[in-house]
Amino acid sequence: MKKVTLTALLSIFCLLAKAQNIQEFEPNDEWLAKIEKIAPNEPTVKNVSKKKILVFSKATGFYHWTIPHNIEMLKILAKKTKIFEVHVGYDIQKFEKKSLKNYDAVVFNNCNPSGPDRDLFADLLRQNTSLSDAEIKIKAPAYEENMMNYVKKGGGLMILHGAITVQNNSMEFSKMTGGSFDYHPKQQEMHVKEVDTNHPLVRAFKGKGLTHVDEPYFFKNAYFDYNFRPLLYIEVDQLEDVRKAVNNNINYVSWIKRYGKGRVFYSSPSHNAQSLENPELLQYFLDGLQYVLGDLKCDDSPMGKPK
């Protein structure tokens, strides 16, 4: 009995240590070779026209160390599948109407704005122009409208992890993306599960979900409209450090939705580049990208508010 107890305690200690000691690293040659080896060799939907995607990767607030890893991951998926090409962007001009027309989809790659305003477009204007604050208050909403109209008219939008905060205090933007960031407990090992194992966008997980170390995100604003098709969830009662009472033990962390003629895919996984070493997650991102590009057709009807 003592041996079993000690073994169990050691396992718990190792899991906690793993969650608290995720090491940051650069996307070096060894890591890139690993990702290229495990990345999908071909897309789920073949014989499609080659698309252009803008991977917007400028954070003006909290900087996620996985930004360069996500760029390289998407470049590898592009190289191996040959169905899209990656264009990386960092400046406000990318959200001009004429510029957005050049792309079939935009990827928000952890482009977190600063607080408390959480307005990426205003931040970018402050950093890249000499406009006064009064002028920025007029100009920033125009860029927000450009992005929303881009999706509404048929563009795709893929949002990775922290980029859900891009316009975090805008309810209209929240309605487009499916929700806004509220808070997250400490990093910890968690089991992310599929909402519907038969849905084509989660086929990569084979009904087993994904166990990894991540930040469990909680959401607000339009999230509680449930105007999306949920894909992945975590169980709140299995988490540590939950700071607010919840009405639903199921917390969705990834979803898809329509916005006008366009499509949106959001994935909270993952805060850490180590998660990208799961081939299932790479396949999931590729399928999500094919969804927003309009190649992968699937049920994206909104679930509606739980009864």
**pLDDT (average), residues 269-273:** 98
pTM: 0.93
Domain-by-domain residue ranges, the chain? 50-292
Q: What local confidence, expressed as pLDDT, does residue 11 receive?
A: 45
pLDDT digits (tens, 9 = 90+) for 234-270: 999 999 999 999 999 999 999 999 999 999 999 999 9
CA 106, CA 31: separation in Å to the nearest integer?
25
On average, the pLDDT of the chain sits at 94
In the chain, the amino acid numbered 38 is I
And the tokens for 3? 């041996």
Assigned token pair, 211: 């166990």
- CATH class of the domain whose range is 50-292: alpha beta
Type of residue at 279? P
As a whole-number percent, the residues of the chain with pLDDT over 90 amount to 92
pLDDT at 27: 97
Question: What pLDDT, on a 0 to 100 scale, did the predictor assign at position 20?
Answer: 53
Taking only the tens place, the pLDDT of each residue in 106-148 is: 999 999 999 999 999 999 999 999 999 999 999 999 999 999 9
CA 20 centroid distance within chain: 22
**What pLDDT score was predicted for residue 171?**
98
DSSP secondary structure letters along the chain:
-HHHHHHHHHHHHHHHHHHH-PPP----HHHHHHHHHHS-SS-SS-S---EEEEEE---SSS--TTHHHHHHHHHHHHHHH-SEEEEEE-SGGGGSHHHHTT-SEEEEES-PPPTTT-BHHHHHHHHH----HHHHHHHHHHHHHHHHHHHHTT-EEEEEGGGGGTBTT-HHHHHHHT-EEEE----EEEEEEES-TTSGGGGGGTTS-EEEEE---EEEGGGGGT-SEEEEEEEGGG-SS--S--S-SEEEEEEEEEETTEEEEEE---SSGGGGG-HHHHHHHHHHHHHHTT-S-----------
Beta bridge partners of 257: 264
Please give the structure tokens belonging to residue 57.
């990767």
- pLDDT for 7 equals 46
306 band by pLDDT with thresholds 50, 70 and 90? confident
pLDDT at 188 over 70: yes
Judged against a pLDDT cut of 80, whether residue 159 lies above it is answered with: yes
Q: Residue 9 pLDDT > 50, yes or no?
A: no
Q: What is the pLDDT of residues 29-82, one digit of tens each?
A: 999 999 999 999 999 999 999 999 999 999 999 999 999 999 999 999 999 999
pLDDT in tens, 70-108: 999 999 999 999 999 999 999 999 999 999 999 999 999
207: left (phi > 0), else alpha (psi -120 to 50), else beta? left
Residue 10 has pLDDT above 90, yes or no: no
Q: Residue 180 pLDDT > 90, yes or no?
A: yes
Q: Output the pLDDT for position 8.
A: 43
Instruction: Please say if the pLDDT value at position 292 is more than 70.
Output: yes
Q: What is the mean pLDDT of residues 6-13?
A: 43
